[in-house]
Amino acid sequence: MGWEINASEIDTPLGFQASGIHSGIKESDLDLALIFSETPSIGAALFTENSFKAAPVQISQKHLSQNNGVVRAIIVNSGNANACTGETGLTTALRMTEIGAQLLNISREQVLVCSTGVIGVPLPLDPIVTNSNYLKQQLSPSGFGNAAQAILTTDTSRKLCSALSNLKGKQIKIFGITKGAGMIHPQMATTLAFIVTDVAITQNLLYKALNEACRLSYNSISVDGDTSTNDTLAVIANGASNSPVINDEGADYSSFLEGLIQVCQSLAHQVTRDGEGAGKFLTIKVVGASSETNATKIARKVSNSLLVKTAIAGEDANWGRILMAIGNSGVSFNNHGVSIFIGDIQVCRNGEGLPFDERKAKMILKKNEIDVTIQFNDGNASAYFWTCDLTKKYVDINAYYRT
């Protein structure tokens, strides 16, 4: 049973509504979103590993420890991260969950809260209070489009993914929205991502699936190597599809996991493609490594090298920098067994340069999507990592925009 994936259409699971409005935290763009499951639902979430956790992260973690797994709603603002804002910030984040709870007639602990934007500036509560009824009125299944818009910061476009499949004769769906576009680095769930599904599943298995999907998606992308204070990846499952409950790691679980991975990868790739200033989407594939951990370490080091990322921006087949980054990974490997391919052109064999057609390499590097394969002869392990090039536009955005 496969999944039909669509990264442009909004096709939401049964029983979910969302809205996105302009409240006034930002000057003119949409800046406040609400996601709601009409029927009882459970939730799971992964958060930033940055030791400065923003107030909304702290409140969401607290609620998850108090709500017995029941998560019915997520309230999110952009334009202000409510991070490093002290006790006041915690009160504000808590108030946001109370506002959401009152609107939806559920308990506060069943509401998660997220914020994204500038760090260290108090988040004004007034715009949220003033516009809360409007936020509720706008709730609808198609409201996920505005919600996707309302969570963006430096992103150039909204990011969403719909997935459709069948389970024991019932149609099941997974739908997600996400935002980038800086401070993107794989440590736990990076950036904000909200996923809803109408499958029925136990909370334990939902967490297990979320961890695995996160590892292969959000934890395998990098824009700039920095981890934000607010990263959250949350999923809500309400069972509204009436498909049988997934309560063991059998075929149904595997099928759901496959769909969740595909949705998370689609969303994570959209984040990477829209990385601040990014012109090119780069897939780093490591094969033949001694372990998956080592393969990931190497892929990550190459993905984060400024010299590799700028070479890609310059469409320069400068494989020496790739080799340099591999050598800095801290992984032990057979140096004489390293091959590097840019697209299908081999540029390095046995750790040494090969003569290659620079013109053909240039044609590959002129494309927007570039594959780099690094081959070792140390074992059978492999890993993927996704990153983007580093352009002058990244510097422009980050020198003059206060995130």
Which positions are annotated as active-site residues? 190
DSSP 220-272: GEESSS---S--EEEEEE--TT-PPPB-SSSHHHHHHHHHHHHHHHHHHHHHH
Confirm or reject binding of residue 121 to its own copies (CB under 8 A).
yes
Please identify, using beta-carbon distances, which residue of 168 and 336 lies nearer to its own copies: 336
Confirm or reject binding of residue 373 to its own copies (CB under 8 A).
no
Among 310, 346, 371, 379, contact with its own copies (rule: CB under 8 A) = 310
Confirm or reject binding of residue 353 to its own copies (CB under 8 A).
yes
Residue 170 CA to residue 159 CA, distance in Å, equals 27
Residue 100 CA to residue 113 CA, distance in Å, equals 9
Confirm or reject binding of residue 379 to its own copies (CB under 8 A).
no
Q: Is the dihedral of CA 69, 144, 121, 396 positive or negative?
A: positive
Residue 5 CA to residue 264 CA, distance in Å, equals 11
What token pair was written down for 367? 């494309």
Segment interacting with its own copies, rule: CB under 8 A, options 17-25, 142-150, 153-161, 324-332: 324-332
Sheet holding 32-37, edge to edge: 16-21, 32-37, 73-78, 111-116
Confirm or reject binding of residue 191 to its own copies (CB under 8 A).
no
Confirm or reject binding of residue 86 to its own copies (CB under 8 A).
yes
Confirm or reject binding of residue 359 to its own copies (CB under 8 A).
no
Residues sharing a CB contact under 8 Å with residue 330, sequence separation 6 or more, in sequence order: 297, 301
Confirm or reject binding of residue 229 to its own copies (CB under 8 A).
yes
Confirm or reject binding of residue 321 to its own copies (CB under 8 A).
yes
Q: How many residues bind its own copies (CB under 8 A)?
A: 63
What would the x/- binding string for its own copies be over residues 288 to 307, using CB under 8 A? ----------------xxxx
The minimum distance between CB 378 and its own copies, in angstroms, equals: 13
Q: Is 332 exposed, middle or buried (0-12, 13-18, 19+ CB in 10 A)?
A: exposed
Confirm or reject binding of residue 84 to its own copies (CB under 8 A).
yes
Among 51, 250, 344, 359, contact with its own copies (rule: CB under 8 A) = 51
| Of residues 123, 127, 158, 121, the one with CA closest to residue 143 | 158
Q: Which residues of 281-300 are buried (b: 16+ CB within 10 A; e: fewer)?
A: bbbbbbbbbbeeebbbbbbb
Among 66, 130, 335, 368, contact with its own copies (rule: CB under 8 A) = 335
Among 11, 38, 226, 292, contact with its own copies (rule: CB under 8 A) = 226
The minimum distance between CB 217 and its own copies, in angstroms, equals: 20
The minimum distance between CB 400 and its own copies, in angstroms, equals: 5
- Enumerate residues 237-296 that contact its own copies by CB under 8 A: none
Please identify, using beta-carbon distances, which residue of 377 and 398 lies nearer to its own copies: 398
Please identify, using beta-carbon distances, which residue of 82 and 382 lies nearer to its own copies: 82
Tally Cβ neighbours within 10 Å of residue 366.
10
Confirm or reject binding of residue 337 to its own copies (CB under 8 A).
no
Please identify, using beta-carbon distances, which residue of 236 and 282 lies nearer to its own copies: 282
Strand-pair partners of 222: 387
Residue 331 CA to residue 295 CA, distance in Å, equals 9
Residues sharing a CB contact under 8 Å with residue 178, sequence separation 6 or more, in sequence order: 151, 159, 160, 191, 192, 193, 194, 267, 268, 270, 271
Among 148, 183, 282, 361, contact with its own copies (rule: CB under 8 A) = 183
The minimum distance between CB 308 and its own copies, in angstroms, equals: 8
| Of residues 364, 287, 365, 354, the one with CA closest to residue 326 | 287
For 334, list phi and psi in degrees, rounded to 5.
Answer: -80, 105
Tell me which residues touch its own copies (CB under 8 A).
49-52, 81, 83-86, 118-121, 182-183, 185, 187, 224-229, 304-307, 310-311, 313-314, 316, 318-321, 323-329, 331-333, 335, 348, 350-353, 390-392, 394-396, 398-400, 402-403
